Amino acid sequence: MKIFNIEEKGNKKENVCYIQLKDLEYLKENNVELEVFKDINKYMYVFSKDTLKSFIRIDVLEDIKKIKEFNGRIIDFSKIRYSRNADLSPYFDELVKERDEIEDLYDRFTRNTSGVWRGHLSEYPLYQKILVLKRLYNNKLEDLIDIKNFLCGHNTINLPQEPFYSALLARKDNIALYGGINPNEYIVLYKDGAPISDEIRDNLDLFDNKDISNNEFIPDFIIDRIMADLRTNHRNYVNESIEYDYSISEDNRYLVIRTNRVKKHNKVKVRKN
């Protein structure tokens, strides 16, 4: 899974890509040369089982261009972050077609389901490529299942806690509200991303984490815009109420407001005999 973003820091804008380590493995198997692979010591863990679904941040333009060349082969979460479950059907349909094409090719090179190669020696590189495509298919299927479960409210994807800068929702009095890369998060930047002051931090600490109202540092226009965005973009649940909590980012640059869906359960009336 990959996520493209244009990050803003002050007056500077920077193209970045977040990509899961398991997809970096696919790129490496396809001999795609990225700067990220050159730092061997830092990324020794890249292909370990425990970290394959972790995202890393890439800001080298040449690397980003190469990753974009694989559009369609690696799922772009940026394009479906506000999808509903029904919107994923075309992605699953496309994946079924890919599976059928791969299986047809695979059958040509194997005697039976044991997967023993039976082609001519000159075709062996193509057979190896088919095996890579099979692993890619499995990765994409796993990603779609994770996204489907994520849209249902399950924490199946550990998304970067960053603003999605193309999703500017509101700006007033040097306070800006963005949608997060995680569509369940909203990012508040004070004074164009300047570090959060001790006054704001201390004030936020005084309030219940689930109550963002009646706080002078979270003005009404922020709350109103979040509610409007929830009504417009988050329609996977019909019977729900929303709770909020908030935290300050590790780099002390912005406030993260997280929405938590609380399903409403219809009361069951019990008839006494």
Ordered per-residue pLDDT tens for the chain, 273 residues: 999 998 877 677 889 999 998 888 888 877 888 888 876 545 555 556 667 888 989 999 999 999 988 766 788 888 887 777 667 888 888 888 888 888 887 777 765 555 566 666 667 777 777 887 888 888 888 888 888 888 777 777 888 888 888 788 999 888 899 988 888 889 998 876 778 888 877 777 655 555 666 667 788 888 888 888 877 766 544 445 677 788 888 888 888 888 876 655 444 343 433
**271 within a domain of the structure (yes/no):** no
The domain boundary, picked from 151, 177, 193, lies at: 151
Sign, CA torsion 57/165/202/227 = negative
Q: What angle do CA 260, 262, 266 make, to 5 degrees?
A: 170
**207 within a domain of the structure (yes/no):** yes
**109 within a domain of the structure (yes/no):** yes
Do 122 and 79 lie in one domain? The reply is: yes
114: left (phi over 0), alpha (psi -120 to 50) or beta: alpha
Residue pair 107/118 in contact (Cβ under 8 Å)? The answer is no
Do 104 and 180 lie in one domain? The reply is: no
d(Cα 219, Cα 93) in Å, to the nearest integer?
44
H helix or E strand, kind and range, residue 106: helix 89-108
**Residue partners of 124: CB distance under 8 A and separation at least 6:** 117
d(Cα 154, Cα 38) in Å, to the nearest integer?
35
Quick one: DSSP state of residue 119? Answer: S
Question: Which structural domain, as residue segments, surrounds residue 83?
Answer: 2-151
